[in-house]
Amino acid sequence: MGPGTEGVMMAPESTATEKTPEESLRETMPAPILETRDLSIFYGKNEAVKKVSLPVPERRITAIIGPSGCGKSTLLRALNRMNEFIADVRMEGEVLYRGHNLYGKNVDPVEVRARIGMVFQKPNPFPKTIFQNVAWGPHINGLVPRRDLPELVERSLRQAGLWDEVKERLGESGLSLSGGQQQRLCIARALAMQPEIILMDEPASALDPVSTARIEDLLFELRERYTIVIVTHNMQQAARVSDYTAFMDLGVMEEFGETDQVFTRPRHERTEDYVTGRFG
């Protein structure tokens, strides 16, 4: 069953035309490349994420919105096994990539992270040159032979919309760029790994409005080739940028659906309260 709390069961005799909202959604939505099933994440005794089943449709942008502390970042980090660096964290449920559980016994978390990229809230380029920043990931993972690295770097920087600004100074430190440029560098860095999925944790929240707009434009371009999951506390951003939206509150995923529907015809009261600004 999809998200939502009604739990409508289809009676066998009902006609084929009567579909639940969840089922129609499943029909029109591209198949999820990634999804969680009853995922719960505990920090010690605190249950930060409660039985969330989130589908991430392929080659679409899925936004996760919700008030502070609702667990959206925690949920995001579970998708590429970045939660494991926190002591005392425990998980129940599954995270499935094309049907295979990423937390299965024989799965190497390092490989998961090589395949699912992440961009963080505050730009965090390495104290290396711009070139090295983008090339390091593919290099240590042996994705391309050394001589092909310059081409990969250029391609990634172009995709991130940064190439023209830095092509003359690839040898300068990544830290010498402005905040918006640094974030695009981090995006290029993630793209260089040629992932299928990119996770973004509030990528524009530390940036000025102009840089934010550039990043949002970038997302539109990337959408054709990558599946993107973006966590944001900026509702307008989610409404502008994403195809599907999940609303979380206090660890529970209250609603999931097409962005248009979630914002204009939310099915749950809590969702409506949030998107109309009554709280959060």
Partner 1 sequence: MATAPATADLAFAKKRRLGEGGIKAVLFVCALLSIFTTAGIILVLARESWTFFREIPLPDFLFGTRWTPLLVPRSYGVLPLLGGTAMIVIGSALVAVPVGLASAIYLSEYASERVRGIVKPILEILAGVPTVVYGYFALTSVTPLLRAVIPATNIFNAASAAVVVGIMILPTVASLCDDALRAVPRSLREAGFALGATRHEVATQVVVPGALSGIIASFILAASRAFGETMAVTLAAGATPKLTLNPLESIQTITAYIVQVSLGDTPAGGVEYKTIFAVGALLFVITLGMNVVANRVLRRYQEVYE
Partner 2 sequence: MTASEWRGVPNLVRRHRQSLWLRRLFKALTWLGVVLLAILLYRIARQGAGWVDWDFLTSFPSRFPVRAGIKSALAGTIWLIGLTALISIPVGVAAAVYLEEFSRPGRLKTFIEINIANLAGVPSIVYGILGLAIFVRGIALGRSVLAGALTMSLLILPVIIIAAREAIKAVPQSLRQGAMALGATRWQTVRHHVLPGALPGILTGVILALSRAIGETAPLIMIGALSYVAFVPEGPMDGFTALPIQIFNWTSRPQQEFHGLAAGGIIVLLVVLLLMNAAAVAIRHRFQRRR
Query: For 20-76, what is the HEC assignment?
Result: CHHHHHHHHCCCEEEEEEEEEEEECCEEEEEEECCEEECCCEEEEECCCCCCHHHHH
Options 7, 12, 127, 142; binder of partner 2; rule CB under 8 A = 142
Q: Which does 98 bind (CB under 5 to 8 A by kind): partner 2, partner 1, none?
A: partner 2
Total interface residues for partner 2 by CB under 8 A: 19
Interface residue with partner 1, options 91, 107, 175, 213 (CB under 8 A):
175
189 touching partner 1, by CB under 8 A: yes
Give the angle subtended at the CA of 61 by the CAs of 58 and 64, to the nearest 5°. Answer: 115
Least gap, CB of 127 to partner 1 (angstroms): 5
The whole-angstrom separation of Cα 52 and Cα 40 is 7
Q: Are 224 and 145 in contact (CB under 8 A)?
A: no
Residues within window 63-92 making contact with partner 2, judged by CB under 8 A? none
SS (H, E, C) 75-97: HHHHHCCCHHHCCCEEEEEEEEE
Q: Which stretch binds partner 1 (CB under 8 A): 25-33, 62-70, 77-85, 221-229?
A: 77-85
Q: What is the CA radius of gyration of the chain?
A: 20
Closest separation in Å from C-beta 198 to partner 1: 10
User: Residue 114 CB, nearest distance to partner 2 (Å)?
Assistant: 5
Output the smallest distance, CB 262 to partner 1, in A. Answer: 28
Q: Does 114 bind partner 1 (CB under 8 A)?
A: yes
Which whole-number Å values give the CA distances from 149 to 134, 143, 146, in the listed order?
9, 9, 5
Binding site for partner 1 (CB under 8 A): 80, 82, 85, 110-115, 117-118, 120, 122, 124-128, 136-137, 140-141, 175, 186, 189-190, 193
